[in-house]
Structure 1
Amino acid sequence: MIFDIRHHIASLVAIFLALGIGIVIGTSMIGSEAITKQQEKIINSIEREFTVLREENKKNAEALIQAQEVMANQKKFNEAVLPVLVRGKLQDRRIAIVDLNYRKEHDSLVSVLRSAGADVRSITVVNLMLLRDQQLNRQVAAFLGRSEEVAPDRYLPDFARLLAAAVLSGGNEDFVRFLDESEIIKVSGVYGPPLQEVILIGGSNDKEQDYAKVFDLNMIEVWKDAGINVYGVEDSNALISYMRYYQSARISTVDNIDTVFGQVALVQAMSGYPGQYGIKETADAFLPPLE
């Protein structure tokens, strides 16, 4: 256990204050045996407090080293066991990933899916924050037939439907090319059929970029109408969770996809155990059955 040293710091401040007062009084009452003894008591008390503090700091340092060793071993274990848990469970499943909240941890998700045998056909990283740029905002609005200057949430439903359709069909090439050249999206892989499933990575850390209702849900609707299985996921530390939005669209969700546990949960959900998984209050279970 890591001890809280704030109590000791407050105690030391109080002791030093008392010592200072004692010194002031002592200088005005030189020769007072009572004052001298009191000062000795205070000094001895300070020494005892420092001794206790040093011991607790030593224990804290040792506990921290032990915790780091446990975490390192846990990471090694996860890396060794994960491929075994997911092997062959998504064999030849054709999947697209659309990432609205890009983190480097999501690179490991792609590796897990491929370890499970999936064919990850395309990865699309969408950066809607760029729409804060007024010139780029006007360009996107104009491309979508909005001649007047409008806020992004006015045209994002159309944006979402066109991009979702492009992921499915490989169409809307001019729009996709424009988005790519503007760096609003970054695409790797190939759009179009055959495609069976889409993983949508959402969640937000910025209230001003909470576009789940106008963007994410419209993409999900397009995919579901086309008979595509959709899975909504987000990071465990997302400040603004999209899980309730995704669950309202009746899709399986995982709220800790940046962890090994979340990645295993997603593979299991995709292999026959749909549901709401993770660590947040919107989850029904931590993991699906691991059969």
Structure 2
Amino acid sequence: MINIKHLVVTVISVFLALAMGILIGIQLESHDLIFKQQENLIEQMETRFDKLNKTRENLESEIKMLTDANETNITYINRIFPDYIKEKLNGLNVAIVETTDDYSYADLRNVLKESGAHITSIVSITNKSLDLSEDAKEVLFQFYEEREKLVDNKQDACSLIVGSIIDAMILGKSFEDIQYLTENGFLHTLGSFEHSIDYVVIAGGSKEASEKINLIDLPIIRELKRYSIPVIGVELSSVENSYIDLYKREKISTVDNVDSIIGKTSMVLVLEGREGNYGIKESAESLMPVLNQEEE
């Protein structure tokens, strides 16, 4: 006689075996599918990598072409620049006032000389006047008091120094003041103050914000304008604390990239009479002065 219990167990076992077989089959099939998907993904990544590598090579080639072309242009510009500015400023007496210890403007002198300008004097104002001790300030005030130039003790050292510079550059006096200020580290000077001045180049900018522009630069600009002496404010394109915008507010011409060939050209053209605010910073109205038709 058939044992029902045994039959049920057998049927269940068969179905379980069948289910396990199906499950294993599905897993094997899924594994193959996943493997194929991974293979496809790897192939796609390799294809994309090849395209990116090709794009990189094309970009590198293009960059090299542009770099070579730029170097050629720079070489060309550097070679024609001296001929372009030659004798443009013949007979012009120019004084330079450098108001920063942070940057060098020695290259300006070569440009002005190449253009035919006569550099009458160079005054570099150090930072010493900004952080004088009370004792040092008293000594400075005593010097000016003995020369009857101290109005009152409320005057600051910078206003006295600015006054001496203007007296020497514009009025041809106070030479003893300049000598004293130079010997005591307030100024560095070159040239002579005995010549009349047609134009003043004031070169500023600093690494850190300070009151120097308000105490030195702007008073000098205002005094020069009071005596109707044209003035141009310049600085390097890389200065960290720019003075150009404040110069511009004084209604003077400016060049904010005077370390570049374009900036040097702009400076020469401004001194030639093409006033404006030129350069690469936000305060600039255009990159450089418009050339005359015959120069283009």
TM-score, structure 1 normalization: 0.71
- Report the CA distance shift for 1:154/1:73 in structure 2 as closer, same or farther (over 3 A): same
Question: Does residue 192 of structure 2 align to residue 190 of structure 1?
Answer: yes
- Report the CA distance shift for 1:165/1:245 in structure 2 as closer, same or farther (over 3 A): farther
Range moving further from structure 2, 59-68 or 89-98: 59-68
Per-residue Cα deviation, 1:112-137 (whole angstroms, up to 9, x for no partner): 21121101122333342x667x6x55
Other-structure match for 2:267: 266
Per-residue Cα deviation, 1:149-179 (whole angstroms, up to 9, x for no partner): xxxx954333333334344436354555444
Structure 1 residue runs of 4 or more that deviate by more than 6 Å after TM superposition:
none
Q: Alignment partner for residue 141 of structure 2, among 139, 142, 145? A: 145
Other-structure match for 2:107: 108
Other-structure match for 1:70: 69
Other-structure match for 1:284: 285
Other-structure match for 1:25: none
Give the deviation of 1:218 after TM superposition.
Answer: 0.8
- Report the CA distance shift for 1:32/1:284 in structure 2 as closer, same or farther (over 3 A): closer
**What secondary structure is seen at the aligned counterpart in 2 of 1:32?**
helix
Identity %: 26
Q: How does 1:1-291 map to 2 (within 5 A)?
A: 32-101=31-100, 103-104=103-104, 106-128=105-127, 137-138=133-134, 141-145=137-141, 155-168=157-170, 169=172, 171-174=174-177, 176-179=179-182, 181-182=184-185, 185-207=187-209, 209-291=210-292
CA distance in 2, matches of 1:285, 1:206: 27
TM-score, structure 2 normalization: 0.70
CA distance in 1, matches of 2:159, 2:138: 14
Per-residue Cα deviation, 1:84-143 (whole angstroms, up to 9, x for no partner): 322222112111111234645x33332221121101122333342x667x6x55565334
**What secondary structure is seen at the aligned counterpart in 1 of 2:121?**
strand
Range moving further from structure 2, 220-229 or 75-84: 220-229
Which residues of structure 1 form unaligned runs of 5+? 1-28, 147-152
Count of matched residue pairs: 252
- The structure with the largest alpha-carbon Rg is 2
Amino acid at match of 1:198: V
**What secondary structure is seen at the aligned counterpart in 2 of 1:120?**
strand
- Report the CA distance shift for 1:170/1:84 in structure 2 as closer, same or farther (over 3 A): farther
- Report the CA distance shift for 1:175/1:266 in structure 2 as closer, same or farther (over 3 A): closer
Q: Retained in 1: the 8 A contact 2:182–2:189? A: no
- Report the CA distance shift for 1:39/1:214 in structure 2 as closer, same or farther (over 3 A): same
Give the deviation of 1:215 after TM superposition.
Answer: 1.4
Q: Retained in 1: the 8 A contact 2:232–2:252? A: yes
Give the deviation of 1:37 after TM superposition.
Answer: 2.4
Range moving further from structure 2, 60-69 or 44-53: 44-53
- Report the CA distance shift for 1:171/1:81 in structure 2 as closer, same or farther (over 3 A): same
Give the deviation of 1:278 after TM superposition.
Answer: 2.6
Which residues of structure 2 form unaligned runs of 5+? 1-27, 143-154
Q: Retained in 1: the 8 A contact 2:129–2:158? A: no
**What secondary structure is seen at the aligned counterpart in 2 of 1:61?**
helix
CA distance in 2, matches of 1:271, 1:96: 15
Q: Alpha carbon RMSD of aligned pairs, Å?
A: 3.3
- Report the CA distance shift for 1:143/1:265 in structure 2 as closer, same or farther (over 3 A): farther
- Report the CA distance shift for 1:51/1:272 in structure 2 as closer, same or farther (over 3 A): same
